[in-house]
Amino acid sequence: MLSVSDGDTIVVDMNGKNEKVRFIGIDTPEKNHPEFAVQCFALEAERHLTEMLGSSKVRLEADPQNSNRDVYDRLLRFVYLPDGTFVNGQMIEDGYAFAYTGYSNSKLTELQNLEDEARAANIGLWDSCDVDTKNGRPLTNPVE
Positions marked catalytic: 22, 30, 74
CB atoms within 10 A of CB 121: 12
Residue 87 CB burial class (10 angstroms; 0-12, 13-18, ≥19): buried
Question: Do the Cβ atoms of 142 and 39 come closer than 8 Å?
Answer: yes
Question: Do the Cβ atoms of 23 and 78 come closer than 8 Å?
Answer: yes
Helix (H) or strand (E) holding 133: strand 131-134
User: What single letter denotes the amino acid at residue 119?
Assistant: R
